[in-house]
Structure 1
Amino acid sequence: MAERSTYMGWKLDYTQPPGEPAYIGPDSVTWRIYKNPISRVIGGVCAVLLEFADPRIRSGVWDHSTYRRDPVGRSERTGHAAMIGAYGPASAARKIIGGVNRMHARVEGVTPDGQHYKALDQELLDWVAATAGYGFLVAYHRFVSPLSDQEIRQFFSESTEIAKLYGVKTKPASLEDFHQMMAKLEPGFEAHPINEEFLQVLQNSAKERKIPGFLLHAIVCAAVDIVPKSVSERLGLNDKYKLSRSGRLLVKVVARLSERIPKPDSPAGQSCERLGLPRTFLWMSKRKQAALLDELQASGRLKSWESYSNDAS
């Protein structure tokens, strides 16, 4: 039986309906990156820290979500949302993202220092989307497998249609674009106890997650390590969460091992089946993937990734 994923109350079977395209195709850089659970956790935690650096986003999450009761779930939902957009059948992605947007439309308030905010403020909306892309990309690049400049550009390009569904208007096309966006917002970033609380709760969840405490600590440090240095310094996280040489090696070994172990019941594996591919497709060698894709595309049973966003829209 196919494993079902749940996001904010919605249940999604990634194997259904058969043949329905996602907004991104199976030969994309995004599908390769998002399948790795270790780099996905690292990237999700990094994204939360970058979001919470802005007091408007931090207040919005603190005042209008379950963050106080479930801070770890907050970072996990960042990963779930990314997978729905990348792997989910297009109709389900539109439905779920539309629901998220309607929920966000009700979120507004005032920060403790008097700044008014709305979750759908364009600047905040664009920044939240940018942090997720940055986190997942850099975590994979740093700890799993280095990506070429062309692959990095392709990664940013692949998510364009999904970003539009969220209402994003200014979207980085490169890491340089991301850093330029960050530079405009950074003067307003500030340290806050919520960041430390989030990281502590995450580390304390080792037993629940059945992960050795030393490994989870290394993963948390890895997430802080990929936060741009100027921001992590501003947040006061550098000293306590400095990634040691042994910690870096541990994270790389575990992340790269995870890259080799097929997870056929994951959203990545299920989505391959939906499109007529073996569930283990994303864990095959690039040579085998290319040969299989050539065969299926030649027969007309599968299209190249560039055509998926057009079919999904």
Structure 2
Amino acid sequence: MSNEPRAPQRRPVPQVDFLNPSGAPALYPPDSLAWQVFKNPISLFIGGITAVLLELAEERVRTGVWEHSIFPTDPLIRMQRTGLMTHVSVYAPVAVAEKLIRGVVAMHARVEGTTPKGTPYRANDPELLNWVQCTVSYGFMEAYAAYCRPLSDAQRDHFYRESMASARLFLAHGAPQSKAEQQQQFERMQPHLEAHPIILQFLEIVLRTSALPLFLKPLQSTMVRAGIHLLPAWLIERLGLQGRQWRLKPWEQRLLRTLGALFERVPIPNAAPTLASRRMGLPANYLYKRFTATTGDGSMASAQS
């Protein structure tokens, strides 16, 4: 393995047609919990912050991300690509999702090296793939539950089981399939999570990068701190993020919950969730009706308000 990282290549954000072909199914069905969780821009941004912090706390993942991606030099493009892949995994036609995910897996196959501490790493290491999938599911789901719509433990278990539809394509075959398995994975990884200057650098980059729509931009700092707030308390302390500048105030939590609830009711025109609903022959506002009933398997049943 070479100690010299390869120079990251700047690739344009792919263009994906979420509206066509008509009737083409996605990896997840429209009545899935995933279609609900990933439609809300509040939980997407906050949950993304949580997930990346968990990933950067792990030495091998941190080195791979920082040395083999464009995030340090072109964070906006990287965030746009990551956001697109999230929507592709959930809403795009299966053929499109499988093709783009195969591309990510092939790219990861070329990512390897040695950390500054001398630890070898490979991006396609099963342990790291499972950890990244765990952090993604945890971050987005807990952000949704905290700021958009409460979720029961049964729904959390269902969400983790659902996530295997895309996790297997990313080769994360050992990703958690329940809240209990997620907690066990956190416990196993706890000794490997540590503070590092790159984590603060990441937060500084996100705070100064205009990654949100204009009407949400004034809340970017608040949403970053909300992402920190979702981390386990022991990890917040270990990462040195317990200071006042990183704390989320109660009124800020209330404000984010109000906005999260608003985006549960207001469709975003021409966004992936609305386009995918139309592709499946459903109303554009299909995902923005109240989903109040819980089925026996933990999924959400629609109840028109």
* TM-score bin (small chain): 0.7 to 0.9
Structure 2 length-normalised TM: 0.88
**Aligned counterpart for 1:252 among listed residues 245, 248, 257:** 257
Q: Which amino acid aligns with 1:269?
A: T
Note closer, same or farther for the CA distance 1:166–1:56 as it changes in structure 2 (3 Å cut).
Answer: same
Gaps of 5+ in 2: 1-10, 293-300
Is 2:188 aligned against 1:184? Answer: yes
Moved more, 258-267 or 91-100: 258-267
Q: 1:210-257: CA deviations, max 9, x gaps? A: 256652111111100001112221111121311111211121122222
Q: Distance in 2 between matches of 1:291 and 1:180?
A: 34
**Aligned counterpart for 1:102 among listed residues 79, 102, 106:** 106
**Aligned counterpart for 1:132 among listed residues 120, 136, 146:** 136
Is 2:59 aligned against 1:59? Answer: no
Q: Distance in 1 between matches of 2:44 and 2:254?
A: 17
Contact 1:262 1:280 in 2 (8 A): yes
**Aligned counterpart for 2:285 among listed residues 260, 272, 280:** 280
Note closer, same or farther for the CA distance 1:291–1:47 as it changes in structure 2 (3 Å cut).
Answer: closer
Gaps of 5+ in 1: 1-6, 293-313
Number of equivalent positions: 286
Question: How far is the alpha carbon of 1:80 from its aligned partner?
Answer: 2.5
Note closer, same or farther for the CA distance 1:237–1:70 as it changes in structure 2 (3 Å cut).
Answer: farther
Contact 1:87 1:271 in 2 (8 A): yes
Note closer, same or farther for the CA distance 1:213–1:81 as it changes in structure 2 (3 Å cut).
Answer: closer
Contact 1:206 1:212 in 2 (8 A): no
Q: 1:254-284: CA deviations, max 9, x gaps? A: 2222222111311000000111111111112
Q: Distance in 1 between matches of 2:212 and 2:24?
A: 36
Is 2:130 aligned against 1:145? Answer: no
Is 2:214 aligned against 1:210? Answer: yes
Structure 1 length-normalised TM: 0.85
Question: How far is the alpha carbon of 1:18 from its aligned partner?
Answer: 0.8
Partner of 1:304: none
Note closer, same or farther for the CA distance 1:51–1:8 as it changes in structure 2 (3 Å cut).
Answer: farther
Contact 2:158 2:178 in 1 (8 A): no
Question: How far is the alpha carbon of 1:75 from its aligned partner?
Answer: 4.4
The within-5 A match list for 1:1-313 is 9-206=13-210, 209-211=213-215, 215-239=219-243, 240-286=245-291, 290=302
Note closer, same or farther for the CA distance 1:286–1:198 as it changes in structure 2 (3 Å cut).
Answer: same
Q: Distance in 2 between matches of 1:55 and 1:75?
A: 21
Q: Which amino acid aligns with 2:214?
A: K
Q: Which amino acid aligns with 2:205?
A: V
Q: Secondary structure at the match of 1:117?
A: strand
Question: How far is the alpha carbon of 1:9 from its aligned partner?
Answer: 3.8
Q: Distance in 2 between matches of 1:74 and 1:169?
A: 25
Which is richer in helix?
1
Contact 1:203 1:213 in 2 (8 A): no
Question: How far is the alpha carbon of 1:93 from its aligned partner?
Answer: 0.5
Q: Secondary structure at the match of 2:121?
A: strand
Question: How far is the alpha carbon of 1:71 from its aligned partner?
Answer: 3.3
How high is the sequence identity, in percent, across the aligned residues? Answer: 38
Q: Secondary structure at the match of 2:168?
A: helix
Q: Distance in 2 between matches of 1:200 and 1:106?
A: 28
